[in-house]
Structure 1
Amino acid sequence: MPLALTGLGMVSSLGWGVASSCAAIRAGLTRPRPLHDVYVTDQEQLEPVPLLGHPIPELTDGFGPLGRWLQLAQACVADLRETAHLPPTSDVRFWSQTGWLCVLPHLDPARYLEVQDFGPDLMKSSWLERLGQLLGLEWPRKSVHFVHAGHAGTAAALQLAQQLLAARQVERLVVLSLDSYLDETSLEWLLVHRRLKTPDHPAGLMPGESGACLLVELPQAARQRGAPVLATIEAVATGSEAGSRMAGQPSTGEILTRTLEQVLPQTPAGDFVGDLISDLNGEEWRARAWGSVQVRLRNRLGERTRLLLPCTSLGDVGAASGAVGVCMATRAFARKYAMGEQAVIVSSAEHGEVGAIRVRAPGGQA
């Protein structure tokens, strides 16, 4: 079921809004900074050097995981409200009919001390209560859902959005995707699993953080309230690989291939014409899985498919990456630099979940 995308919000290490962030990514900008709380050994110089990452220091400095999520959420929702010209929180009718899908990382106890201390349910409920206070919203708990599927979380949330909107449980939904690899315990967790890019381990990720939100509704509902449609979510698919990075089992890319096949449009020429936005981040396991996908889909992904890698500019932003990809595709349509009328966002999580989203430009052909 197609969904109308009627609002975007984003904050990243390159900008405090979706327009500035996506313009900076388009220009190839990047702003890695030394993380002076974490030092790694440079084997050539035999001395400690600070790890490099992509923080938003003015926004998240000094906060733990929950605080970082709150800061990221406030910033990207503020951008959504401003750019989509949403009514004030005093408009009870509008906001009571707006559901929320909070896309967060897997609540791994090894990564989050808060999960160990309070348990995931209490952790989420207290965080949600504080978020409502900061946003000035009093939402019914039944209108808020949490999704924990790593990089594939946005795809899973959009599938849930299709179900909720089809059932008329709400009139519209905000998909709020947040993650940060830059709190102390997350960095330690990444180091333990040898996932960070360091002088002696170049095949790793550079940690980043971001918040991105998408306002989606049924096309007829968008028309009825006169909301401009920025893009259409044409197709969404998800799956789960038998092997995963966290299980220590290499992924063959088979399920990722099937998932991507489900959203790729059928074209007379065969190959996909448009941007393919991937969450490749420098880790070997992702590269191997993607290499397998390219072999299997060599007739569908050709010269007219342009591969874009947000991690080059932002670092790995985890569960926020799917929504960031949708923002990038939508802004490319608006600014007329997209490769074609459609774009595909493909995601693969360390716990095995995979997802793919196809987005169509306003007025583009399905």
Structure 2
Amino acid sequence: MSGFPLAITGTGMVTGVGLNAPASCAAIRCAIDNFQETRFMDKGGEWIMGSEVLLEQPWRGKTKLLKMAAAAINECLANNKQILPKATPLLLCLSEHERKGRVIDDDNQFFLDLQDELKLVFHGKSRVVAQGRVSIAVALKHARMLIQELKIKHVLIAATDSLLVAPTLSHYEKNERLLTSQNSNGFIPGEAGAALVVESSYSTQENVLACRGLGFGVEKAHVDSEESLRAEGLTAAMKESLVDAGCDEGILNFKITDISGEQYYFKEASLAFSRIDRTKREEFDFWHPADCIGEVGAVIGLVMVAVLKSACEKAYSKGNHILAHLGDDDGKRSSMIFAWQTVGAQ
């Protein structure tokens, strides 16, 4: 990552298949889902399937978003006592402002409410990243600057989101994006909270998952446009991330994405990778955790990273160099290059 890779040294997760990172990652590894009928009905009169997080009380709306984010952050803090919240910026990833049914009306107030929920105060360089699914890449870019230029030891990246909201579901169903009794080309909605601990890979003496490259692009022929798909935005993001990581695509062993079931995104991913792939491979695995937890919006990127960390630590990954990419409905695209970095090989 421009000569400055970032280490992912901690994870926290609250999903429909587990209330902590180990449980969630184990369920995703085993392809276990928790898709059940929700309290929402589609236009055909059938219950919409979803992946709901079951907490100790039936919280809804902003309260549930706060509870999920707080639980994930607390998991990270409990596993690393060296983190000092006042000296640690929190980068909070949220849904894009344009999304229909968004329950957070004031991002700054939501951040303050989260601090109250945690009974903590974070570093003054904390910020909200309301960029939807690509938020994780934007947050990692900010984290790199904070660690490299300001010499901050730890950065917390957290996310919370839910698509189990009536106006949101209604919008996606109307646009034939939701999996229902009348539409097979759609996603299953979900909700989740997640958090990551990020620090310089040069400051740790352990084997770590390192983010070595970031790339960004914009797709003009996004899912809601009427233009022919060319995957130029995602292709550009992939190329930039490889340049940032200082490697070519031949080093990649498999990829992980935010794809949650829609044919458009599978076609885009295939087309974009075919444009950069110049290596003859016998296999190239394609992981998409949304198959188990549903479409969780801004949280999916953090879930992807947590899944990679667990897979590398437990030695069930398909290799040590991974491509990860994400995309928002408005055309924003991001790509990340991760590597399992062992002591002595940095």
Question: What's the TM-score once normalised by structure 1's chain length?
Answer: 0.85
Confirm or deny that 1:303 pairs with 2:299: no
Find out whether 1:234 has 2:212 as its counterpart.
yes
- 1:255 Cα deviation after fit: 1.8
Opposite residue 320 of structure 2, the aligned amino acid is: E
Q: Using the TM superposition, give the Cα deviation of residue 303 of structure 1 relative to its aligned residue in structure 2, in angstroms.
A: 3.1
* Mapping of residues 212-223 of structure 1, within 5 Å: 212-222=194-204
* Aligned counterpart, 1:156: 138
Q: Distance in 2 between matches of 1:288 and 1:332?
A: 26
Q: Is 1:359 aligned with 2:338?
A: yes
The answer on whether the counterparts of 1:322 and 1:347 sit within 8 Å (CA) in structure 2 is yes
Name the counterpart of 1:51. 48
Distance 1:341 1:291 in 2: 21
Distance 1:13 1:218, change over 3 A: same
Unpaired segments ≥5 residues, structure 1? 42-47, 88-93, 116-122
Go from structure 1 to structure 2 and tell me whether the alpha carbon gap of 1:107 and 1:354 turns closer, same or farther (over 3 Å shift): same
RMSD over aligned Cα atoms: 2.4
Q: How far is the alpha carbon of 1:351 from its aligned partner?
A: 1.4
SS at the partner of 1:57?
A: coil
User: Structure 1 vs Structure 2: percent identity of aligned residues?
Assistant: 21
Change (3 A) 1:33 1:319: same
Whether the 8 Å contact between 2:134 and 2:334 is mirrored in structure 1 is yes
Preserved CA contact (<8 Å) 2:254 2:284: yes
Q: Which runs of 5+ in 2 are unaligned?
A: none
The aligned residue for residue 277 of structure 1 is 256
Task: Give the CA deviation at 1:312.
Answer: 1.1
Structure 1 residue 295, shift from structure 2 partner: 2.8
In structure 2, the CA distance between the partners of 1:4 and 1:72, relative to structure 1 (3 Å rule), is: same
Shift of 1:245: 2.5
Per the alignment, residue 119 of structure 1 pairs with none
* C-alpha distance 232-114 of structure 1, shift in aligned 2 (>3 A): closer
Q: How far apart in 1 are the matches of 2:325 and 2:198? A: 19
The answer to whether the aligner puts 1:29 opposite 2:39 as a matched pair is no
Q: 1:263 to 1:67 in 2, by over 3 A?
A: same
Q: TM-score, normalised by structure 2?
A: 0.90
Gap change, CA 1:255 and 1:334, over 3 Å in 2: same
Shift of 1:190: 1.9
Matches within 5 A, 1:251-290: 251-264=229-242, 271-290=250-269
CA distance in 2, matches of 1:209, 1:60: 15
Quick check: 1:275–1:329 contact (8 Å CA) kept in 2? no
Name the CA shift for 1:60/1:170 in 2 (closer, same or farther; >3 Å): farther
Aligned-partner residue type, residue 127 of structure 1: F
SS class of match (1:112) = coil
